[in-house]
């Protein structure tokens, strides 16, 4: 889900990512949710058994940063083809959103 909101001079581009996780136990998952809650740009985090649902401002945070945080806490994205496909699509979508924001700021 992507939504572009205009709130005064600052634009917020919220995206929702539904990511399957591997190699995390329940304690790591709970700690990961706390880490993401404190991350700038994160609007909402739900970590369920082996799934991360995260809403964040694509102008502030990127999927690659989300993955780096995940890996720093001992986890990783699922190695399945569907997760890899979605991650690639998410990255391309974020690039387009950031490009559009840059164009809007230049105008």
- From first to last of its 107 residues, the chain has per-residue pLDDT tens of 444 444 444 577 899 999 999 888 888 888 888 999 999 999 999 988 788 899 999 989 999 999 999 999 888 899 999 999 999 999 999 999 988 888 887 77
Question: What per-residue confidence (pLDDT) applies to 83?
Answer: 92
Q: Give the contacts of 18 (CB within 8 A, at least 6 positions apart).
A: 51, 52, 53, 86
What is the secondary structure of 4-64 as a DSSP string?
EEEETTEEEEEEEEEEEEES--HHHHHHHHHHHHHSTTEEEEEEETTEEEEEEETTT--HH
Question: What per-residue confidence (pLDDT) applies to 69?
Answer: 92
Enter the pTM of the model.
0.81
- Beta-bridged to residue 16, according to DSSP, are 55
């Amino acid at each position: 889900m992507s939504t572009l909101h205009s709130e005064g001079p600052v634009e917020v581009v919220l995206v929702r990512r539904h990511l399957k996780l591997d190699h995390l136990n329940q304690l790591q998952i709970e700690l990961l949710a706390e880490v993401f809650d404190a991350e700038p740009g994160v609007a909402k985090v739900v970590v369920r058994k082996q799934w991360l649902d995260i809403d964040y401002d694509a102008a502030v945070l990127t999927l690659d940063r989300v993955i780096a945080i995940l890996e720093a806490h001992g986890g990783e994205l699922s190695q399945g083809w569907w997760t890899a496909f979605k991650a690639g699509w998410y990255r391309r979508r974020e690039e387009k959103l950031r490009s559009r924001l840059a164009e809007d700021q230049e105008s």
